Amino acid sequence: MTAILDALSRYSHFATRRPTLAAFVPFVPVVGIWWAVAAMEVVPRAFFPGPLEVAQGFASLTYKGILPAYLEDSVGRLAVGAAFGIALGIPLGLVVGFNQAMRRALWPVLLFFQAIGDIAWLPLLLIWFGFGLTTMTFVIVYTVIFPVVFNTALGVRSVPRDLVRAAQSLGAPKWRIVAEVILPGALPNIMTGLRNGLGYGWRALIAAEIIVGTSGIGFMMFDARRAGSAVEIVLGMIVLGLLWYAVDAWILAPIERATGQRWGLVTKA
């Protein structure tokens, strides 16, 4: 027991000093177990590839240029969809958070459409827009927007009243209070909304690519199923996980460190 705690404490120190390197350490046992299970060949290797086969698959697909191209397609679609989702979601969240009448009027509608879910729209979207970027962008925007709206509205309402009053007494007009007080005050909640929204959006994208299917990581995985190539499917799964980790570590976490955590609104991670 003490040995485990000791190891954890040493890992924690290491993680503070070398965070990027330390992120890989927990995966060592995961890969080890994977390798062992594959080596036992309970299922034929063609259906349950080991780490080595997947690594080879990664090398070959990267060499052929398929993986980079598909990755670019998927990330590009997510970026476009997320950008629209944020651009629509934050203002809508501000309005809903600010104005009680608007909140009362919009809330039931928002809940109704949230429940329908992105994938449920796909049949109709395919009729309207066909198999293309418009359909996929719609699905992502639809997925991203709800968590962003709800969390932005929550953030607006959790800004301490005295901060608004202080700004008013210092002569701030309404629009400046929104820009200088409400938005930064709501930022930790907006980031939570963004994190959820992007996470759901990423999953929705993969689902959309499987159904709409012309390119992208989701398409690659489903296409591999037709060819019976388990390697590509597992590779796709790993790429999904890694990519999300990258979005978090390189985009979301740095923003949170520079804002809410810096200002003392949220304790340091």
Partner 1 sequence: MKGLTLRNLHKTYFDPAVGTKVTAVQDVSLEIRPGEFVAVVGPSGCGKSTILNMVAGFLPATKGDIIVGDRAVKGPGRDRGVVFQNFALLPWKTVIDNVGFGLKMRGIPKPERDRVAREFLALAGLSHAADRYPNELSGGMQQRVGVVRALANEPDVLLMDEPFASVDAQTRMTLQEELTRIWQERPHTVLFITHDVGEAVFLADRVVVLSKGRVLREIDVPIARPRVWDAVSEQDDFKRLSFEVLQMVRAA
Which residues contribute to the site for partner 1 (CB under 8 A)?
Answer: 160, 162-163, 165-173, 176, 180-181, 184-185, 187, 259, 262-265
In angstroms, what is the minimal distance from the CB of 262 to partner 1? 7
Q: CB-wise, 94 or 230, nearer to partner 1? A: 94
**CB of 265 vs partner 1, minimal distance in Å:** 6
- The angle formed by the CA atoms of residues 130, 237 and 124, to the nearest 5 degrees, is 20
User: Using the 8-state DSSP alphabet, how is residue 213 labeled?
Assistant: -
Best CA proximity match to 146, nearest among 85, 208, 75, 83: 85
Least distance (Å) from partner 1 to the CB of residue 220?
42
**Residue among 51 and 184 whose Cβ is closer to partner 1:** 184
Residue 116: C-alpha distances to residues 103, 109, 154, 198 (Å): 20, 11, 22, 18
The C-alpha angle with vertex 206 and arms to 200 and 210, in degrees rounded to 5, equals 140
Q: Which is nearer to partner 1, 186 or 210 (CB)?
A: 186
**C-beta of 61 vs 182, nearer to partner 1:** 182
Nearest to 136, CA basis, from 89, 173, 81, 71: 81
Residue 16 CB, nearest approach to partner 1 (Å): 20
Distance CA 55, CA 199 (A): 26
Q: Which is nearer to partner 1, 108 or 173 (CB)?
A: 173
93 in Cβ contact with 190 (< 8 Å): yes
In whole angstroms, the minimum distance from the beta carbon of 47 to partner 1 comes to 53
